[in-house]
Amino acid sequence: MTDPLTAPPVLRGNYAFFFDLDGTLAELKPHPDQVSIPEPTRAALHQLAQQQSGALALISGRSMAELDALAAPYRFPQAGVHGAERRDIKGQDHIVTLPETLAGALHLWLVDSMSGLTGCELENKGMAFALHYRQAPQHQQAIEQLAEQAVARFDGLAVQPGKCVVEIKPAGIHKGAAIAAFLQEEPFRGRIPVFIGDDLTDEAGFEVVNKAGGVSVKVGPGETLAHWRLARVADTHSWLQQLVQQDKTALTDRRDGYESLSRSI
């Protein structure tokens, strides 16, 4: 779907919310370690999760350890490394791993292959590898070709392009599959899914949510499968605050109505 897309409505009802992190809840930075989620946004996520009986999860290319650190002091259900690792509402982990010999051989091959690409960075996530070129955009084509060579050289892998990064991950692992898994579990089951993301890695999630009759929201410009759009991260923060506030207003209205009824009786 191409521009223009309008901003999503402020939703009221039984929804299951899924949020990407970088470029959606947090501004993109030159280095991943510089990223943070503003405290009011973290608090709003916690409030929205409470309002939806816990049906809120983070869906990211980052590891779950990184997600916990960025969301602290709150702890949400989440899928890290595009769904290669996932934690459900009960705190149970679901992990997809690469064979140790494959991961070791791939890591050594990537280190050697990237040695001449100054400014690029290899991130070993254990079950996936991220090839970052944000600080060396002139190497984009070389990084993309290198990732394709890796998939051809080593079995059971797939390439996932992103913003200034290309990831090599287990085949069949993507954010859409992670969202689909959550939707089979309580408290997400039976709710209308909502997914907000900004990157190519989020398109698989939009596809799953669209097929489920849900609400898909793209943050930023670019063609997308999403049905709605927010222009920037700051708009995600504003929309999230509206979601929380309208639910508080509805609760206050219900309480006021009950108290008036009590007094009249």
Mean of the per-residue pLDDT values for the chain?
92
Residue 260 reports pLDDT greater than 50:
no
The backbone torsions φ and ψ at residue 230, rounded to the nearest 5 degrees and listed phi first, read -115, 140
Q: Which among 61, 25, 27 has a CA at the least distance from the CA of 43? A: 25
Per-residue pLDDT averaged across 166-177, rounded? 94
Q: Per-residue pLDDT tens for 3-32? A: 568 999 999 999 999 999 999 999 999 888
- Please, which pLDDT band fits residue 263 given cuts at 50, 70 and 90? very low
Query: β-strands 78-80, 56-59: how paired?
Result: parallel
104-134 pLDDT, tens digit per residue, is 999 999 999 999 999 999 999 988 999 999 9
pLDDT of the residue at 32:
84
Query: pLDDT over 90 for what percent of the chain?
Result: 86
Q: Quick one: average pLDDT of 253-259?
A: 48
Question: What pLDDT is recorded for position 104?
Answer: 96
In the chain, the percentage of residues whose pLDDT exceeds 70 is 91
Comparing 3-7, 130-134, 171-175, 256-260, the range with the smallest average pLDDT is 256-260
- Cα-based angle 61, 188, 25 (whole degrees, multiple of 5): 35
Confidence band for 256, pLDDT divided at 50, 70 and 90: low
Task: For residues 225 and 223, give the distance between their C-alpha atoms in angstroms, rounded to a whole number.
Answer: 7
pLDDT score of 1: 47
Task: Give the integer Cα–Cα distance in Å for 16 and 191.
Answer: 6
Beta-strand relationship, 192-197 and 15-19? parallel
**Domains, in order of start, for the chain:** 15-96+173-258 (3.40.50.1000), 100-170 (3.30.70.1020)
Tokens of 114: 């990237």
CB 14 within 8 Å of CB 183:
no
The model's pTM: 0.86
Nearest-5° angle of CA 21, CA 24, CA 30? 75
For position 250, what pLDDT does the model report?
53
Query: CB-based contacts of 148: which residues, under 8 Å, 6+ apart?
Result: 159
More confident residue, 3 or 95: 95
Specify the higher pLDDT residue, 250 or 50.
50
The confidence band for 59, taking pLDDT boundaries of 50, 70 and 90, is very high
Q: Which of 3, 20, 88, 235 is catalytic?
A: 20
**pLDDT tens, residue by residue, 208-229:** 999 999 999 999 999 999 999 9
User: Is residue 88 annotated as a catalytic residue, yes or no?
Assistant: no
Mean pLDDT along residues 66-78: 98
The backbone torsions φ and ψ at residue 149, rounded to the nearest 5 degrees and listed phi first, read -65, -40
